[in-house]
């Protein structure tokens, strides 16, 4: 890959600085904050709880609902008008299908699992940050999950395949934005969108890159969950998923 | 919110014994009280986060250009919004703004507007044509009671954190990416204190549990010098004039605690 100049000296496959924290909303069943660069997403999970109105209930399986919300002062530029619009409704839909494959919704007939995501500040990559935070919040809520879900936008800007586009790269004239969510252990993609023009060969390259960088995001997610459920005196070296669950159970007691 | 009779009786019985569910004195604010400035420093013109115990609220300011109201041609305008979604409290609902969120926004609005805390004349760009519009938006992160005080404190902190974006006077365009060093012109610092009444007891800084079983509440907006600039009564029980005087006095004493963290 050729050397290109990105803001703050980032490599083509470099991610913006990340920060993750679990349990940020004490009253929620599960919650998490994920920050990547200047984009900040906070997720709060409520449920499983009875789904209303009743005609939406499905006796076969529960329903995952996502509520993506940019707070009014989170956009660069004018104030964002509160309330759902066409964009947020589509994002809710793709978020639901990005996260549902990791859950076992058959466990919750007639129920809803609601994930509320507030974007406090945005600089591109909001739906990916929202999914990453939401997946952590679902894990925090104690749901049985097949795998984590980590999300990132890959794409092209200035003729290079790059990871984690910021707003300037995303909105560049030749910018291609490919938000991707993956189950990092299974290596499967649960969200794929593409905005822009790209050659099939570059797309392959971008998908390969996504696989690598999603693993990095996954590491941050895992660490945040492990940190939250590890008792300070215990050795923090190996925290398996089982240990995480166990710690959570004990914390509940 | 459904009232649970056993819980209601329990809380009343506790209060009669001079005790509060979380062990605080009746007129004690929760000790875990903090203000954090600039939680959305890149996109908001000003922002702040307030934590009172487990209650956690963020407020942000956006500035925009607008045409003035016909009867106030040389004054800027203010708008306060609040969103109460299940994000922060499982009993809140999605959908159009609930009556509770409208009341919250309007009570915060009253304190700021009626105090004249924001010098609206200084927000005039060109009389009759262009003025700055101040949007104050409140987002609770976690509701453990007393969102009113938290929202008012967060709103004031965010206003104090606000810097104007650059305005190109020739084109009339705002460059939101480049902030100036000019702060929002503030004349005073209105803060709101809510005092609730359960049975014969007055309490400040109610938790969610206490709020649920209140008989009456009064929110008092106070200026730095103790002047009252707004009030709102809530709850289903009536209050005597003695009750009100006492509650206002309690609010006046309590506001000092909040001013210390600003």
Q: What is the pLDDT of residues B218-227, one digit of tens each?
A: 999 999 999 9
* Cα–Cα dist B123/B56, whole Å: 30
Percent of the residues in chain B that have a pLDDT greater than 90, as a whole number: 95
pLDDT above 60 (res B28): yes
A-chain residue closest to B43, CA distance: A76
Structure tokens at A2: 């050729």
* Residue B1: pLDDT band with limits 50, 70, 90: very low
Of B3 and A48, the one with more pLDDT: A48
Integer angstrom CA distances of residue B146 from A143, B19, B54, B198, B205 = 31, 19, 10, 15, 6
* Cα–Cα dist A40/A75, whole Å: 11
Which residue in B41, B87, B134, B184 has the most chain A C-beta atoms within 10 A of its own C-beta, making it the best mutation to test that interface?
Answer: B87
Of B243 and A237, the one with more pLDDT: B243
A67–B144 C-beta distance less than 8 A: no
Q: Å from B142 to nearest chain A CA?
A: 6
Closest CB to A118 among B89, B139, B176: B139
Q: What pLDDT score does B172 carry?
A: 84
Q: Which residues of A touch B137 (CB under 8 A)?
A: 71-73, 79, 82
A121–B41 C-beta distance less than 8 A: yes
A-chain residue closest to B177, CA distance: A76
Q: What pLDDT score does A247 carry?
A: 62
Contact indicator for A175, A169 with CB cutoff of 8 Å: yes
B85–A116 C-beta distance less than 8 A: yes
pLDDT above 90 (res A220): yes
Q: What pLDDT score does B233 carry?
A: 97
Structure tokens at A158: 């200035």
pLDDT above 50 (res A130): yes
Closest CB to A26 among B94, B137, B142: B142
Average pLDDT over residues A6-16: 91
Contact indicator for B132, B64 with CB cutoff of 8 Å: yes
Is residue B59 within a helix (H) or strand (E), and if so which, with residue range?
strand B55-66
pLDDT above 60 (res A185): yes
Q: Which residues of A touch B94 (CB under 8 A)?
A: 67
What is the homologous superfamily of the domain B5-261 according to CATH? GHMP Kinase, N-terminal domain (3.30.230.70)
Average pLDDT over residues A110-122: 97
Percent of the residues in chain A that have a pLDDT greater than 70, as a whole number: 90
Q: What pLDDT score does A240 carry?
A: 56
Interface residues on A facing B, Cβ-Cβ cutoff 8 A: 24-28, 38, 40, 42, 44, 46, 49, 67, 69, 71-79, 82-83, 114, 116, 118, 120-123
Q: What pLDDT score does A139 carry?
A: 98
Beta strands in chain A (DSSP E): 18-22, 30-36, 39-50, 63-70, 111-121, 150-157, 160-163, 176-183, 188-192
Q: Render pLDDT for A136-169 as a digit per residue (tens, 0 to 9).
A: 999 999 999 999 999 999 999 888 999 999 999 9
pLDDT above 80 (res A4): no
pLDDT above 60 (res A195): yes
Q: What pLDDT score does A237 carry?
A: 52
Residue A189: is it exposed, middle or buried by C-beta count within 10 angstroms (0-12/13-18/19+)?
middle
- Reported pTM: 0.91
A27–B142 C-beta distance less than 8 A: yes
Percent of the residues in chain A that have a pLDDT greater than 90, as a whole number: 81
Q: Which residues of B touch A73 (CB under 8 A)?
A: 40, 43-45, 47, 60-62, 135, 137
Q: Å from A78 to nearest chain B CA?
A: 7
* Residue B170: pLDDT band with limits 50, 70, 90: confident
Spans of all domains in chain B: 5-261
Radius of gyration for the alpha carbons in chain B, expressed in angstroms and rounded: 19
* Cα–Cα dist B48/B187, whole Å: 19
B-chain residue closest to A76, CA distance: B43
B62–A78 C-beta distance less than 8 A: yes
What is the average pLDDT value for chain B, to the nearest integer?
A: 95
Q: Which residues of B touch A78 (CB under 8 A)?
A: 62, 64, 176
* Cα–Cα dist A99/A116, whole Å: 13
Average pLDDT over residues B228-254: 97
B-chain residue closest to A74, CA distance: B43
Closest CB to A72 among B62, B89, B176: B62
Q: What pLDDT score does A230 carry?
A: 86
A26–B54 C-beta distance less than 8 A: yes
Q: Å from B78 to nearest chain A CA?
A: 13
Closest CB to A44 among B62, B87, B144: B87
Buried b (16+ CB within 10 A) or exposed e, A207-220: bebbeebbebbbeb
Q: Render pLDDT for A56-99 as a digit per residue (tens, 0 to 9).
A: 999 999 999 999 999 999 998 899 999 899 999 999 999 999 99
Q: Which residues contact B226 (CB under 8 A, 6 or more apart)?
A: B252
Domains and CATH numbers, chain A: 7-252 (3.30.230.70)
A79–B64 C-beta distance less than 8 A: yes
Q: Which residues of B touch A77 (CB under 8 A)?
A: 176
Q: Render pLDDT for B64-80 as a digit per residue (tens, 0 to 9).
A: 999 999 999 999 999 99
Structure tokens at B93: 């609902």
Q: Which residues of B touch A171 (CB under 8 A)?
A: none
Q: Render pLDDT for B174-215 as a digit per residue (tens, 0 to 9).
A: 999 999 999 999 999 999 999 999 999 999 999 999 999 999
Q: What pLDDT score does B4 carry?
A: 84
């Amino acid at each position: 890959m050729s050397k290109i100049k990105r803001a703050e000296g980032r490599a083509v496959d470099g991610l913006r600085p990340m920060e993750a924290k679990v349990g940020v909303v004490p009253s929620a069943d599960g919650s998490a904050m994920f920050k990547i660069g200047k984009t900040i997403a906070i997720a709060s999970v409520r449920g499983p709880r009875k789904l209303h109105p009743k005609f939406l209930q499905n006796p076969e399986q529960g329903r995952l609902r996502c509520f993506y919300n940019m707070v009014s002062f989170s956009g660069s530029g004018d104030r964002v008008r509160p309330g759902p619009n066409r964009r947020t409704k589509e994002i809710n839909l793709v978020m639901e299908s990005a996260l549902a494959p990791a859950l076992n919704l058959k466990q919750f007939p007639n129920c809803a699992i609601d994930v509320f995501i507030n974007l406090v500040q945005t600089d591109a990559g909001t739906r990916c940050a929202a999914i990453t935070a939401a997946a952590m919040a679902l894990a925090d809520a104690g749901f049985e999950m097949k795998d984590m879900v980590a999300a990132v936008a890959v794409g092209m800007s200035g003729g290079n395949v790059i990871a984690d586009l910021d707003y300037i790269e995303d909105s560049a004239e030749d910018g291609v934005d490919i938000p991707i969510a993956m189950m990092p252990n299974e290596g499967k993609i649960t969200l794929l969108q593409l905005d822009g023009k790209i050659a099939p060969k570059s797309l392959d390259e971008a998908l390969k890159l996504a696989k690598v960088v999603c693993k990095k995001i996954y590491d941050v997610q895992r660490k945040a969950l492990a940190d939250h459920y590890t008792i300070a005196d215990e050795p923090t070296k190996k925290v398996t998923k089982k240990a995480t669950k166990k710690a959570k159970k004990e914390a509940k007691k | 919110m459904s009232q649970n009779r056993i819980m209601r009786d329990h809380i009343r019985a506790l209060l009669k014994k001079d005790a509060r569910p979380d062990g605080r004195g009746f007129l004690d604010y929760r000790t875990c009280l903090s203000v954090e400035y600039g939680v959305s420093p890149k996109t908001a013109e000003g922002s702040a986060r307030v934590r009172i115990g487990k209650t956690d609220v963020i407020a942000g300011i956006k500035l925009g250009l607008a045409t003035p109201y016909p009867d106030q041609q040389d004054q800027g305008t203010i708008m306060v919004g609040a969103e109460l979604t299940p994000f922060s409290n499982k009993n809140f609902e999605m959908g159009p703004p609930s009556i509770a969120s409208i009341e919250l926004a309007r009570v915060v609005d009253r304190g700021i507007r009626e105090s004249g805390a924001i010098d609206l004349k200084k927000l005039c760009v060109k009389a009759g044509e262009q003025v700055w519009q101040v949007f104050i938006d409140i987002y609770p992160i976690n509701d453990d009671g007393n969102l009113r005080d938290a929202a008012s404190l967060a709103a004031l902190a965010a206003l104090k954190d606000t810097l104007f974006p650059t305005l190109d006077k020739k084109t009339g365009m705002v460059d939101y990416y480049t902030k100036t060093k000019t702060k929002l012109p503030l004349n005073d610092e209105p803060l709101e204190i809510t005092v609730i009444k359960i049975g014969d007891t007055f309490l400040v800084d109610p938790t969610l549990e206490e709020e649920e079983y209140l008989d009456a509440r009064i929110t008092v907006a106070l200026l730095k010098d103790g002047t009252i600039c707004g009030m709102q009564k809530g709850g289903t029980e009536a209050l005597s004039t003695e009750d009100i005087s006492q509650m206002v006095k309690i609010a006046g004493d309590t506001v000092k605690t909040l001013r210390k963290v600003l």
